[in-house]
Structure formats: structure tokens, C-alpha cells
Structure 1
């Protein structure tokens, strides 16, 4: 209707001339209905006459294929950039999680004048029944603004109590975003079924982070009968069994000592459960058709080889690793978070070797080795 009104304006102007060619052209065009498309613009005596056509021209097959090809090329060019941006965002979130831990640990120290212990180890740690205890992750819940969850936990009982301690069963099933790296593909929960759990299957939230026990840690397989998590006396990390460290104990400097690192999930290897330490003997360590979740929520900097990215394999399953390309994130005692390259200098030292034989990677795990740390 608007187009026809425009024609009427031109017609009124040209009515003064009976022999106006513009008037004759417009009268001819206006008889064609409907007006579907614009095909040309014609200038007549200072006026714009719109010549219309009532047929639409579609895409040819060649044009359609060209458009599809262009879209495909654009997607191929943009997809890697999008993936890199997403991974950068995930790495940033992972680093922020560790910084939250750092702030929580400092607030905990301000209140209690000490850091939380790495984990509560029971008197039966060397026996075949080795039960579980609470870790630093559960102890700092109040400082992570999870006071309700902290108050729910009965710390006089272990986290793996079956139906006998229902409040703890509910507490350890809470999956908190602060304990999960966005790049980690682990399941949010693991199923625990052991004899010490009264025969119950318990859903326990998993974690992407572990405290550092020291430069060298417990025996190769903590789940083997008789192996103690405290078997290696060289536990110089911030988080050890049944012992609380203080700032004054970190003699190497808070900016030179790592305390928490990333770990990834791998079925049939030691895993990390939120807020708890699972210790199992040969009788209840590996259960059929279940994830093996009998492990400590701490790690040591493995002295055999370094593999800081990808899933744990071979002898590094008890060390640190992530799904970030090139390395893993670590929290230092001063509250800073650093991305440590998988190419960091390290040595294949034994537990009995002096700290002077350690590499930079091992020295970062010790609070008082007395050796200088170069740039990492």
C-alpha cells in the first residue's frame, strides 16, 4: 500500500500534463498486482519511478554450495580460537579456586594460629583395616563460606560411616565448585563400598586438588596390606598426618613453598575425595565394578618422573597432574597460584637422598630443606 501511495504522489504531480510519459508509465505499472520485488529505478522529470516485478529469483545450486563452503571455512578458522578461549577461561577458574584455598588457609591460620593438618590418621593406619579420616578440605569449609556444611559434619566420626553417621554421609556427598577444576573430566561423585563402610554403597564427592605431603611420600601402593601412609619419614610438606604447621615452620619462605596442587581422576589409581582420606588394606581396597576410592587427599612430588598434564599413568599416579596443556596449577603458602610447566627441572632422587640432590620440583614441596629455589 505504501508503494502505491508513492505512485499516487507522482500521478498528482503529472496530472497537469495530459501527455506526460511518466503518468502513462505509472498507470501501466499500477495495474500489475501484487508488487513482489523491485527491479529498477527510473528517473523521470526529477521524480523516482519504481519499476516492480512479481517474480522472485532463488539461489542456484552453485551459489548455495559456495555459501556452505564459506561457512565451513569460517567455522574451521574460528573453532580453534573458541576452544583456546574456553580453555583459558577454565584455567583462570582453576587458578581462582586455588586462590580461594589460599585465602581460606590464611583465615584459618589467623583464627587458630596454625594451618589445618593434612589429614587425620587413625591409630590403625598400619593395619589391614585402615579406616578413614577428615582432611584439610573439610576443615576449611567455614573459611570457604560453607559454614552450614561445616556445622553438619561430626568430626568425632569418620567420613565413611555408612548409615551409622547419616550427617557425615550427607556432608561428603556435597559436590562444591571450589573443589572442581573445570578442565577435569572426573565424575562428580564416586561410589565407596568397603567392609569398613558396613557394607553400604556411599556416594562421595570428588575433588581436583590435593595437599602436598612432601618431596617424597608414602609407599608406592598405599592400598597394599600393611603399607602405612606415614611410612616415609621425609614428609616435609605443609600438609602431613596428625600435625599442624605454622607460618614460622615454613623456613624456606612462603613464596618458595607449594602446598596444594592439581590431580586428575583415573579409575584403578588413587583418587581424591572431597574432605576425606580413605585408607584401605588389601581386604577392602579394590572392589568389583566400583571406582577405587581408597586413597589420601594429599600427594607428594613423585621422584621418578614428572608428568604434569594428562591422566596419571605408570609411577606418577600418586603425583600431581592436570588436563591443562603443558603443566598444572599449584598454590603456594603465600596465597599465590602458579602454573608450573611439565618441563620444570627435577631429579630422580630417592627418599634417603639429601635435599641438595633434589630438583626444583622437589624443593618446592619442602618447607625447610634449606636449599635455594631458582626460577620455575
Structure 2
């Protein structure tokens, strides 16, 4: 007669213990996985800025100047335009392995407004360019928050960019001087029809910001206004002191990551924890803490570290950053 062997299974308590252990392991591993992914995204963002820095310096080597924030070719009698102008990112295309795109859009031969009037080119302009995209920032492929008008005044949306050039300390001085005092004129690299040379940066290329980050939407920690990012092709000017230049540039008068400021969409911001990446004029990329001295968040004349970093010739001593 065969003896019966009793098979022992899991008790309910043992099963619950195993499930609890697995849940604890997942809870421990998930943040580590998320941190590793964010570290990879930050590395990609930093590398994007390095490539942009090389492109800007190669442009400077060829043209003996950095490109303008926008090249305003179609202003009216009052200096305004509602039609599209090429921005500094488009002038970098040949130095970012995008020479074919540069030639197809005919950047050197026509305005952005004229290019967008062609349905084929308008579609091309809506194609995202990875080098201008920070992977940490969730956003649509086209920047549907910044409208650009073609030569028939029809609106278009183009590929977005998380990287905007430094116009200096004050967003209301992104265009042209309104006086002789230092704070009443553009103080950065990128403003309307700018032609800044390396030799003009008397504060030193390692102490001057060239390009910074900007998010598309809101920051999760504070809500507030949308950053609206920038565009990878250019801008439509508007009837105002800054005339659309925030589509491709920023000013330090608005503190970084300050989503509650009404002009947050003309500032810098990022989804990285604790600060932002900035490309300096010497080609280095620095991660700058959001707690750096930024001034009062007004019109940008507090001589704060962040403001001084965005000015090319203030001749002030800059603190730690």
C-alpha cells in the first residue's frame, strides 16, 4: 500500500509576507531607477548645450561675430513686425549637421515669413530637432504656444526649443538702446540684429552666459505660469518693447524658475531638480543652482550674480555661482 505524501503549499500569511517584501523592493528600487533616468536626461541636455556651443563658436569663426537673436528684415516704419524672422538657432543649422535643412529653408536667401508661406517648408519647420530638446521637459513636438506669421500674415507653429540665448539683464531692453546708461541698453549676446564678437565680452567668456534653458509648461513644484519654451527657427515680432525676441532669448531680470512672475515666459527654467544648465561663452556648460543670487526679480538692475553673468561688459566682480 502506497503511503500518501502531503504536499505543503503557501499559507495566506506567507503569501502576504512575500508580496510585502516584493512591494518594499519595488519601493526601494523605483526611485533609484528614476534617478538614473533623470541623470541620463540631464547628461543629454548638457551634451545638447555643448553641441550648440560648438556651433555658435564655429559660426563666430566664419562670420567673426555671434549670430543675432533675430535678423529683422521686414520691420515697418515704426520698427515693428508681425511676420517671421530667422532666429539664432537657424543660423547654427550648418554647424549642427543640418546644412541640408539650412539650404532647404533658404535661410540666407529669404525671411522666415517667406519660407512659411510655402506649405512644404512650413511642414519642414514643424519637424522637431533633437539637439534643441531637453528630454526632461515634457512638451509637444511643435511649440503651439508661440505663433509665427508668414508673409501673408497667416499663423504657423514651428518646432520648439528648450534653449534660449542671453539678451542680458532686462527683457525690455532686448531690442535697442533707449539711453546711454549701461542699464538702458542691451547687455547680452542675443538681441535684435545683434553682432556681438568675443572681443566685446570684456567680462571674460568664462564669466558670461551665452545660452540657458526654458521649459514649455509649468513646473510641478510651484504651478504658476507657463514657460512656453522657445522656437528652433525664429520669431514673429509683436508691438512691444521686446518684439517677439523672447521666442529665442531670455533676460535675467526675471529670476530663473520663478513661475509666479508674469514674465516667466521670458526667463530661464528647467525640470531638473535644483537648478539649470547654462552654456557659457567659453563653451563650458555649468549647472547653476536656482538659489544663486538673482536680485529682486524686477527690471534687472540689482547687480545680482545672475544678472552680471548675463551682461558682457558690466566690469563688476562676480561672486560664486
Q: Which moved more, 1:248-257 or 1:182-191?
A: 182-191
Match of 1:86 among 37, 54, 57: 37
Give aligned pairs, total: 304
Contact 2:89 2:234 in 1 (8 A): yes
- Distance between the aligned counterparts of 1:278 and 1:209, measured in 2? 17
1:144 aligns with 2:72: no
Report the counterpart of residue 247 of structure 2 in structure 1.
296
Report the counterpart of residue 241 of structure 1 in structure 2.
192
Match of 1:204 among 158, 166, 173: 158
Q: Which moved more, 1:360-369 or 1:159-168?
A: 159-168
Shift of 1:271: 4.2
**229 and 54 in structure 1: CA distance in 2 versus 1, 3 angstrom threshold:** farther
Using structure 1 for the length normalisation, give the TM-score: 0.71
Q: Which moved more, 1:265-274 or 1:190-199?
A: 190-199
Contact 2:169 2:300 in 1 (8 A): no
Report the counterpart of residue 364 of structure 1 in structure 2.
309
**125 and 187 in structure 1: CA distance in 2 versus 1, 3 angstrom threshold:** farther
Q: Which moved more, 1:108-117 or 1:68-77?
A: 108-117
Match of 2:138 among 185, 210, 213: 185
Shift of 1:203: 4.0
- Structure label with greater radius of gyration: 1
Report the counterpart of residue 230 of structure 2 in structure 1.
272
**197 and 325 in structure 1: CA distance in 2 versus 1, 3 angstrom threshold:** farther
Report the counterpart of residue 220 of structure 2 in structure 1.
none
Aligned CA RMSD, in angstroms, stands at 3.1
**141 and 339 in structure 1: CA distance in 2 versus 1, 3 angstrom threshold:** same
- Distance between the aligned counterparts of 1:164 and 1:201, measured in 2? 10
Q: Which moved more, 1:52-61 or 1:112-121?
A: 52-61
Matches within 5 A, 1:1-376: 56-122=7-73, 123-124=75-76, 126=78, 129-155=81-107, 156-161=109-114, 164-166=117-119, 168-191=121-144, 198=152, 200=154, 202-218=156-172, 229-230=175-176, 233-266=184-217, 271-281=229-239, 295-303=246-254, 306-308=255-257, 311=259, 313-348=261-296, 353=301, 357-376=302-321
Using structure 2 for the length normalisation, give the TM-score: 0.83
1:293-338 deviation line (CA, Å, top 9, x unaligned)? 99531111125xx2337x5743433111111111111000000001
Q: Equivalent residue of 1:101, what SS?
A: helix
Contact 1:130 1:280 in 2 (8 A): yes
**102 and 165 in structure 1: CA distance in 2 versus 1, 3 angstrom threshold:** same
Q: Equivalent residue of 2:172, what SS?
A: coil
1:141-185 deviation line (CA, Å, top 9, x unaligned)? 111111111111123433244763345413322211110001111
- Distance between the aligned counterparts of 2:4 and 2:101, measured in 1? 73
Contact 2:70 2:85 in 1 (8 A): yes
Contact 1:215 1:362 in 2 (8 A): yes
**90 and 229 in structure 1: CA distance in 2 versus 1, 3 angstrom threshold:** same
Shift of 1:218: 2.0
Q: Equivalent residue of 1:211, what SS?
A: strand
**314 and 352 in structure 1: CA distance in 2 versus 1, 3 angstrom threshold:** closer
Contact 1:208 1:264 in 2 (8 A): yes
